[in-house]
Amino acid sequence: MSVRVFLVDDHALFRAGVRAELDSITDEVDVVGEAGSVGEAVAGINHHKPDVVLLDVHMPDGGGAEVLRQIRATNQEVVFLALSVSDAAEDVINVIRAGARGYVTKTISSQELVKAVVRVSEGDAVFSPRLAGFVLDAFADRPGAAPISDPELDLLTPRERDVLRLLARGYAYKEIASELFISVKTVETHVSSVLRKTQLSNRYELSRWATDRRLV
Amino acid sequence: MRRRRSGRVVAGVAGGLADHLGAPVFWVRAVFALLTAVSGAGIVAYALLWMFVQQRPATEPEVETDRREWQQAVGLAALGLGVAVFTGLLANAASGWITGPMAVALVGAAVVWREADEAQRRRWRDGALGQGKAGVVRTVSGVVLVGIGIAAFLYNNIRLDQLPEALLAVLATLIGVAVLTIPLWMRLVRDLGEERRARIRTEERAEIAAHLHDSVLQTLALIQKQAGSEREVKRLARSQERELRSWLYGREVGEQPQTISLAIAQACAEVEDDFAIAVPQVVVGDCVLADGLYALVQAAREAMVNAAKHAGVSEVSVYAEVEPDKVTVFVRDRGKGFDPDTVPEDRHGLSGSIRGRMDRHGGEVRLRTALNEGTEVQLEMPRKTEART
């Protein structure tokens, strides 16, 4: 069964391009609808009930984060994958914290995009090297950092750090697994756990860091 | 009709009127002088025109006042004033006590008004509100003159025992006027703020337009010309994207990068431009670029160049991590790879430029490669304690 995908982007040209690419290269994904604004997106997603929403970060009226908030208030089933031209750390971290399960840039190849869509639809997280770098940086132990209130959420385990480092170096899950002598499933578990921490941690640095640093 | 901005003696009224009527300015001034001689009507007319007629826009070129014309105009004015005072004295000797202080007050007002004109001109020219020291001195002395004139007038026309009542009346009137004109002042202040904001917006837009023109439009034109060459189009698009991003996020790479993240970004950009490949980089942490780290960046650049030349790939990824005690850089490609033992002695890229550089500064190089498995160069440089940030 193919993954049902809904496109949200305020650039009609870009939507048409992604739709054409996804339709032509694979049967694994099926674009069921698209929207160009926050209102349209919310209505469309509620109507089509897609598996995965490809979400643009920058849109008028609150952007992708606003769509996430409105949908996730009523529907926890649908999965979001953020897609953006932006490299700004605050955009990346904010959309992840709003509930997206992954973040890829618009320059990603079509094959990679299909893989990412399938992966998030199966419940995994998708970290681009850049996102991995952001998260590593955000959780970094700096002198004078705020005290850790909840070690469960505010600290990465050494293993998670290793996985993130390899992700940032551009390794695929399979390569990470063989590098660290663990299974691909374990790599996925680590990445999902990092995603959860990124979303739920109240660590002071995470929010401040994202606004301080526009770009890494 | 507009008052003259250039070639003026007092406020450019006579010149403006001459322009308006198409008459020589000398005759206009003479008529003003004559009217002044006749019970001061010329002064009143001049003052009214000064108040209600706007100056010409500042965009027109300014011409310095001709010295001879100046003398002529001042002579005419003096003549008119002299005759007026003389006839006034003849008509009623006692009224000298009224006209004298009034004249002082008028001169003071003229100084203040002229200064206001000047200040406005400067504001247009410099886009600033500051008046300058000389301007303040002129304004203050004008105000003092007006004050002396009015005080002298009052002193001679009001008996001392009436003074408190008179002062009270004046004060009450002033407060009344101030209250009545509050909306006017408010509007003035608002207009001024509005105007400055509008100017800032226009300047910003002009700057953005100029930047887009210099960069994006030029690149698009180049891309259209090079449309046949995919490699060249990619290179242009990539370098433009990088440039636009650094401009948008205020991270322009200067001549000499100061931090390691900027230095790595610059090295990647150079390799991208030289070899038409993509070099995405991820940098975690940052620090000031000290000696050994400079060598590290150079070695990393050499590794990128090797990958670009020999690996046969369109993308080389770079990951750098700054830790308290060391900086690590990974340069990785998914290209052909090679067997390190078979590299001929004369190819010094790896041994000289990379290993040599790193060894000299106490760094380490590790190499992971195999045929068809890609290559990863791992560079590690310890940080000297004093270089810590």
**For B143-190, what is each residue's pLDDT tens digit?**
787 777 777 777 776 666 777 777 788 888 888 888 777 777 888 888
Range of lowest pLDDT (A10-19, B69-78, B338-347): B338-347
Q: How confident is the model at residue A67 (pLDDT cuts 50, 70, 90)?
A: confident
Mean pLDDT of A169-197: 89
Cα–Cα distances in angstroms (integers) from residue A33 to residues A5, A68, B219, B243, B347, in the given order = 7, 17, 35, 35, 55
Range of lowest pLDDT (B23-32, B291-300, B312-321): B23-32
Q: What is the pLDDT of residues B94-109, one digit of tens each?
A: 455 556 666 677 777 7
Nearest-neighbour CA in chain B from A130: distance (Å): 6
The verdict on a CB contact (< 8 Å) between A130 and B251 is no
User: What is the model's pLDDT at position B314?
Assistant: 85
Q: What is the largest CA-CA distance in chain A?
A: 52
Cα–Cα distances in angstroms (integers) from residue B143 to residues A186, B99, B150, B289, in the given order = 85, 18, 11, 60
Q: Evaluate the CA torsion angle B153, B157, B163, B165 in order and state its sign.
A: negative
Q: Evaluate the CA torsion angle A67, A68, A71, A77 in order and state its sign.
A: positive
Task: State what percent of residues in chain A have pLDDT above 70.
Answer: 88
Mean pLDDT of B347-370: 79
Task: List residues bridging with B283 in a β-sheet.
Answer: B320
Q: Which residue of A has its CA nearest to B324?
A: A142
Mean pLDDT of B6-23: 77
Task: Tell me the average pLDDT of chain B.
Answer: 77
Q: Which residue of B has its CA nearest to A130?
A: B282
| DSSP string of B207-225, one letter each residue | HHHHHHIIIIIHHHHHHHH
User: What is the model's pLDDT at position A154?
Assistant: 74
Nearest-neighbour CA in chain A from B362: distance (Å): 24
Q: How far is residue A10's CA from residue B336's CA, in Å, rounded to a whole number? A: 41
Name the 3-class secondary structure at A36: coil
Task: State what percent of residues in chain B have pLDDT above 90.
Answer: 3
Nearest Cα neighbor of B11 from B73, B84, B96 is B73
Nearest to B317 among A137, A170, A214 (CB): A170
Nearest-neighbour CA in chain A from B383: distance (Å): 16
Q: Collect all residues of chain B within an 8 Å Cβ-Cβ radius of residue A169.
A: 282, 317, 319, 330, 332, 376
Nearest to B283 among A88, A133, A140 (CB): A133
The verdict on a CB contact (< 8 Å) between B332 and A137 is no
How many residues comprise chain B? Answer: 389
Cα–Cα distances in angstroms (integers) from residue B276 to residues A185, B139, B236, B239, B335, in the given order = 37, 65, 9, 9, 16
Q: Collect all residues of chain B within an 8 Å Cβ-Cβ radius of residue A87.
A: 245, 249
User: What is the model's pLDDT at position B388?
Assistant: 44
**DSSP assignment letter at B42:** H
Do the beta carbons of residue A82 and residue A104 sit within 8 Å? yes
Q: Which residue of B has its CA nearest to A214?
A: B249
Nearest to B282 among A129, A140, A214 (CB): A129
Q: Collect all residues of chain A within an 8 Å Cβ-Cβ radius of residue B251.
A: 214-215
**Residue A181, pLDDT above cutoff 90:** yes
Mean pLDDT of B376-381: 91
Residue B142: Cβ within 10 Å count? 20
Do the beta carbons of residue A48 and residue A33 sit within 8 Å? yes
Beta-carbon contacts below 8 Å between A and B: 46
Task: Tell me the average pLDDT of chain A.
Answer: 82
**Residue A205, pLDDT above cutoff 70:** no
Name the 3-class secondary structure at B366: strand
Cα–Cα distances in angstroms (integers) from residue B130 to residues B56, B111, B124, B125, B284, in the given order = 21, 18, 11, 12, 47
User: What is the model's pLDDT at position A214?
Assistant: 42
Q: Collect all residues of chain B within an 8 Å Cβ-Cβ radius of residue A132.
A: 282
User: What is the model's pLDDT at position B329?
Assistant: 93
Task: State what percent of residues in chain A have pLDDT above 90.
Answer: 13
User: What is the model's pLDDT at position B99?
Assistant: 61
Nearest to B245 among A87, A133, A136 (CB): A87
Q: What is the amino acid identity at position B113?
A: W
Most confident option among A37-46, A148-157, B56-65, B66-75: A37-46
Q: Collect all residues of chain A within an 8 Å Cβ-Cβ radius of residue B250.
A: 214
**Residue A113, pLDDT above cutoff 80:** yes
Q: How confident is the model at residue A199 (pLDDT cuts 50, 70, 90)?
A: confident
The token duo for B131 is 């008046």
Q: Which residue has the tokens 């890229």?
A: B349
Q: Which of B259, B286, B319, B383 to mutate to test the interface with A (most CBs of A within 10 A)?
A: B319
Within a 13 Å sphere around the CA of B30, how many CA atoms are in the beta-carbon half? 5
User: What is the model's pLDDT at position A53?
Assistant: 92
Q: How confident is the model at residue B254 (pLDDT cuts 50, 70, 90)?
A: low
Q: How far is residue B177's CA from residue A200's CA, in Å, rounded to a whole number? A: 63
Mean pLDDT of B83-90: 68
Q: Collect all residues of chain B within an 8 Å Cβ-Cβ radius of residue A130.
A: 280, 282
Nearest-neighbour CA in chain A from B296: distance (Å): 17
The verdict on a CB contact (< 8 Å) between A133 and B280 is no
The verdict on a CB contact (< 8 Å) between A130 and B280 is yes
